């Protein structure tokens, strides 16, 4: 009986180690999660950061504000210095002229025509407040943000979905007067090709 008990303990050791390894995996925790809220110094829902970034032309938005054909949201169009990436900043209807609530960053498609109405950034690449940029790997994103709340697919891309609600983080979202923050990061062949960050209502 003693010999059988010892043998059973020996057999259980690898199983117990595997359990401890699983428990050490990163799990999404809204209380400690730090969200993306800015791109290249332009902070979402912070009009002063927009003004300061384009201080030479503070009226640029009123000249280049379009209405999105699908979302029906007003937005401004931007490109980086070599026009390899596109940035679109969306404002909800009724918001102030420089109060952008959502940012979409993506690779410019090879078949895409040059953006004549785009505002050109002097920087070579768009970088979020958490240091996320086009071209990083899935493991790079997890190192920065941790595991997502869920993974979905969209038009052949693997999407890492993160979000925070005002129930989980009331102080953070109260500062922005919104009920939800979200971040969606799109990967193709393991490389980040597009991401959306922003604030919304349910």
What tens digit of pLDDT does each residue of 69-89 get?
A: 555 667 778 888 888 999 988
For residue 43, the model assigns a pLDDT of 92
- Average per-residue pLDDT for the chain: 80
Q: 172 with 185: CB under 8 angstroms?
A: no
**Alpha carbons 143 and 164: distance in angstroms, whole number:** 19
**Residue 14: pLDDT above 70?**
no
Q: Write the secondary structure of 115-161 as one string of H (helix), E (strand) and C (coil).
A: CCCCEECCCCCCCECCCCCCCCEHHHHHHHHCCCCEEEEECCEEEEE
Question: CA dist 151 to 120, 158, 186, 196, Å?
Answer: 33, 7, 10, 15
Mean predicted confidence (pLDDT) in 174-193: 96
Minimum mean pLDDT range among 1-5, 92-96, 165-169: 1-5
CA 21 to chain centre: 28
For residue 112, the model assigns a pLDDT of 77
Strand partners, 161: 150, 184
What tens digit of pLDDT does each residue of 112-139 get?
A: 777 776 777 888 899 999 999 999 999 9
Mean predicted confidence (pLDDT) in 143-152: 95
**Residue 166: pLDDT above 90?**
yes
* Confidence grade of residue 8 (pLDDT, cut at 50, 70, 90): very low
In the chain, what's the furthest Cα-to-Cα distance?
85
Per the model's pLDDT, the better-predicted residue between 198 and 6 turns out to be: 198
Q: 151 with 159: CB under 8 angstroms?
A: yes
> What is this structure's pTM?
0.79
Q: What percent of the chain has pLDDT over 70?
A: 73
């Amino acid at each position: 009986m003693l010999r059988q008990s010892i043998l059973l303990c020996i057999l259980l050791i690898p199983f117990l180690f595997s359990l401890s390894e699983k428990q050490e995996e990163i799990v999404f925790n809204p209380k400690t999660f730090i969200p993306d809220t800015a791109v290249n110094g332009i902070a979402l829902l912070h009009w002063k950061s927009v003004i300061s970034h384009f201080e030479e032309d503070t009226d640029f938005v009123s000249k280049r504000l379009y209405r999105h054909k699908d979302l029906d949201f007003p937005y401004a169009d931007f490109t980086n210095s070599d026009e390899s990436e596109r940035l679109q900043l969306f404002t909800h209807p009724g918001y102030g002229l420089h109060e952008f609530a959502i940012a979409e960053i993506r690779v410019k498609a090879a078949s895409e025509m040059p953006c004549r109405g785009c505002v050109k950034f002097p920087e070579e690449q768009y970088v979020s407040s958490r240091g996320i940029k086009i071209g990083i790997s899935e493991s790079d994103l997890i190192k920065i943000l941790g595991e997502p709340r869920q993974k979905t697919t969209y038009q052949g891309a693997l999407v890492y979905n993160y979000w925070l609600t005002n129930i989980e983080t009331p102080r953070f979202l109260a500062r922005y007067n919104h009920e939800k923050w979200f971040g969606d990061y799109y990967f193709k062949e393991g490389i980040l090709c597009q991401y959306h960050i922003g604030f919304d209502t349910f």
